[in-house]
Structure 1
Amino acid sequence: MATVTLKGNKIETSGNLPTIGSEAPDFKLTATDLSTKTLSDFKGSKVVLNIFPSVDTGTCAQSVREFNKEASELKNTKVLCISRDLPFAHARFCGSEGLDNVISLSDFKDGSFGKTYGLDFVTGPLETLHSRSVIVLDENGTIKYTEQVSETVDEPNYKAALEALSN
């Protein structure tokens, strides 16, 4: 288990993020059109997994906006914004904000993504939601960078994640 905080209060996740250099575990997530997406759908592209508790909170929304802005300048890179929000909430948010450079995916069906990646909260008021994390993959699905934000209300280190894409 990993321990992070929410406004200074300790909360735990189900495990630890996958190891840098390892192959990213496959997943099944639901897109805003209700189709199922897997990691293999993005093979051949660099991938940024922007993971957060809910798009309906300020910090989470800002991370989607920031990665959307940065993604417009990235070559051969897909930014996947992942939470347990319903696909309809993702579609509403991105539609109202005019965000079209990110792909919103939901783990609402069974939470298996959060469990597999070791980042779902198992204690605290956000229990069952995902810990704010960023995972960067190369074109072959190898993990190049991970960050689990230690204070949930803080934003991730965008610069470090984007620099990992060029390494």
Structure 2
Amino acid sequence: MATITLKGNEIHTSGNLPKIGDKAPDFELVKTDLSSSKLSDYKGSNVVLNIFPSIDTGICAASVREFNKKASGLDNTKVLCISRDLPFALDRFCGAEGLENVINHSDFRDGKFGKDYGLEITDGPLQGLHSRAVIVVDDSGTVVHAEQVPEIAQEPNYEAAIASLS
């Protein structure tokens, strides 16, 4: 279990993120067209997992915008934005913002991704949602970067995530 904060108040997650050097666990999430998507679908590409509580908050929206901007310059890399939001909300946000370089995924059905990756919030007002985290998986499926953002209201370290790809 990881201890993080929400506006300075301590909350907890269901576990710990995968470690650098580990094989990333496969998952099944829902894309905005309601089709299923697995990590294994992106085999052979680097994958940035931008994970957040809800697209309808300022910091979460900012992270999607920033990774969308950074993704446009990355070779052989897919940026997956993942939350428990409904796929329709993720699609609405990216459509309204004109964001086309990220791929939205929802864990709304059973939250299994959040549990398997140790980032489900287990207490406090955001209980059941995902914590803010960034995990980078290389083209062989190995975790090369894992950041559990310590404060929900803080943006992730974009530069460190992108640097892990070189």
Q: TM-score range by the shorter chain?
A: over 0.9
Correspondence list, 1:6-155, <5 A: 6-155=6-155
Cα offset for 1:107?
A: 0.1
Q: CA RMSD in A?
A: 0.3
Cα offset for 1:117?
A: 0.1
Q: Which amino acid is 1:136 matched to?
A: V
Question: Following the alignment from structure 1 to structure 2, what is the Cα–Cα distance between the partners of residues 159 and 85?
Answer: 26
Question: Following the alignment from structure 1 to structure 2, what is the Cα–Cα distance between the partners of residues 142 and 65?
Answer: 25
Identity across the alignment (%):
69
The TM-score, its normalising length taken from structure 1, stands at 0.99
Q: Secondary structure at the match of 2:135?
A: strand
Cα offset for 1:38?
A: 0.3
Question: Following the alignment from structure 2 to structure 1, what is the Cα–Cα distance between the partners of residues 161 and 79?
Answer: 11
The TM-score, its normalising length taken from structure 2, stands at 1.00
| 1:10-40 superposed Cα distances (whole Å, 9 cap, x missing partner) | 0000000011100000100000000000011
* Number of residue-to-residue matches in the alignment: 166
Question: Following the alignment from structure 1 to structure 2, what is the Cα–Cα distance between the partners of residues 39 and 140?
Answer: 11
Runs of 4 or more above 6 Å deviation: none
Gap regions ≥5 residues in structure 1: none
Gap regions ≥5 residues in structure 2: none
Q: Secondary structure at the match of 1:131?
A: coil
